[in-house]
Amino acid sequence: MSDFSNHKFGTKAIHAGAEPDPSTGAIMTPIFQTSTYVQESPGKNKGFGYARGKNPTREALQKNIAALENGKHCICFGSGMAATDAVMRMLKPGDEVITGDDLYGGSYRLFTKIYENYGIKFHFINLTDASNIEKYINSNTKLIWAETPTNPTMQIIDIAACSKIAKQHHLLLAVDNTFASPYLQNPLALGADIVMHSVTKYLGGHSDVVMGALIVNEDKLHEQLYFILNSCGANPGPMDCFLVMRGIKTLHLRMERHCYNGRKIAEYLKTHPKIGKIYWPGFAEHPNHEIAKEQMRDFGGMISIVLKGASLEETFKIASSFKVFSLAESLGGVESLINHPVTMTHASIPKAEREKAGVVDNLLRLSVGVEDVEDLIEDLNQALSN
């Protein structure tokens, strides 16, 4: 079978892993809606024993996502959080993790409310300066968990610099690549050991599936993580795998438009009198712009804004008056969304922690979709005049 590893991104998005069905020639991978597989004689099967462990629709999707990250192995999970959880399950009581201070709220909740109870210690630090990391490393440190761009303040973390430190100290480096998508950034190539995606977002792309994925190169690491998937059972269903494969076929087209619309909207908002602050890594004056330029292919469609002098009520009023943007959690779908992190995605982070990371009451996060950008700007214009 051709693995498309020498082809360009769009060709891989469409073809990698998607072999025509050998029994019928169906060009689309069938939805193998089955829990078990008939064996010829005890222990003799066609490579599939029980569907928690393996499913052909899932296998096709995993090959596809691995190709997009230029990785050897991919494992899909029932959600992004389940994928993150699988990485944490490799740790033991007493182990320590170094992670960012501007994290997806659900990751922060998993680390502090679940894994701290199991005796794992987390250091939430500013990872934009990789030299900070070494101060927190001791003999118990096992893992660096980085998210870049960060959510919602769009800091860019230098993956290659983190990887250098991780390698010196024999730590694993895992990167949550959800915001960038494999189209914009490939952390394995920059030295990461594990890439995590909330497939729910750009990969799925149509706001109709919740799924996660881990991509790795090391066979041992893959074995360990696959053992966790099969033992703990956070596997995705075949219908969802089919939907994601269908979504990925247009990932490169969607991302081009997300980036184009993102740039237009960032430029429009930058000079808007109601905007006090704007976070978008494509601006030359963004503090991590140089690293963004180096490790990302473009700057994406995620933008956060702070409304100048707006109270919580005024922020609510504006957030509720959009007509094309929808007020909702999540991101990365074809439709534009607006989110109020303090009450929505980041509500589980204590106020003091939140504000230290710049997640203030009058901050709104935009996931710019692929609609016509003139309509999106018109919608922002009318909502901001409230």
Ligand X SMILES: *Cc1c(COP(=O)(O)O)cnc(C)c1O
Catalytic annotation present for 104: yes
Residue 121, both tokens:
């210690």
**CB closer to ligand X, 56 vs 212:** 212
**CB closer to ligand X, 61 vs 310:** 61
Note whether 24 and 204 are within 8 A (CB).
Answer: no
Catalytic annotation present for 102: no
Angle formed at CA 256 by CA 252 and CA 258, multiple of 5 degrees: 110
Residues 217-276 within binding reach of ligand X (CB under 6 A): none
Smallest distance, ligand X to C-beta of residue 375, A: 25
**CB closer to ligand X, 147 vs 361:** 147
Residue from 59, 85, 158, 176 touching ligand X (CB under 6 A): that is 176
Catalytic annotation present for 240: no
Smallest distance, ligand X to C-beta of residue 179, A: 6
| Contact flag: residue 159 with ligand X (CB under 6 A) | no
| Contact flag: residue 299 with ligand X (CB under 6 A) | no
What's 169's DSSP letter? T
Residue 211, φ and ψ in degrees, nearest 5 = -160, 160
Place of tokens 């214009």: 381
Cβ-proximal residue to ligand X, closest one: 80
Smallest distance, ligand X to C-beta of residue 176, A: 5
| Contact flag: residue 182 with ligand X (CB under 6 A) | no
**Sign of torsion, CA 65 129 125 304?**
negative
**CB closer to ligand X, 105 vs 282:** 105
| Contact flag: residue 178 with ligand X (CB under 6 A) | yes
Smallest distance, ligand X to C-beta of residue 196, A: 7
Distances in Å between the Cα of 135 and the Cα atoms of 98, 100, 138 are 10, 14, 8
Residues 136-155 within binding reach of ligand X (CB under 6 A): 147, 151
**CB closer to ligand X, 201 vs 354:** 201
| Contact flag: residue 361 with ligand X (CB under 6 A) | no
- Determine which one of 201, 257, 263, 365 is catalytic: 201
Q: Pattern 80-99, binding to ligand X, x per CB under 6 A?
A: xx------------------
Nearest of 12, 334, 5, 346 to residue 150 by alpha carbon: 346
**CB closer to ligand X, 196 vs 376:** 196
Q: Could you tell me how far CA 220 lies from the centroid of its own chain?
A: 23
Residue 86, both tokens:
């699988």
Catalytic annotation present for 176: yes
| Contact flag: residue 279 with ligand X (CB under 6 A) | no
Q: Pattern 96-135, binding to ligand X, x per CB under 6 A?
A: --------x-xx----------------------------
Task: Please give the positions annotated as active site.
Answer: 52, 104, 176, 201
Interacting residues toward ligand X by CB under 6 A: 79-81, 104, 106-107, 147, 151, 176, 178-179, 198, 200-201, 210, 212
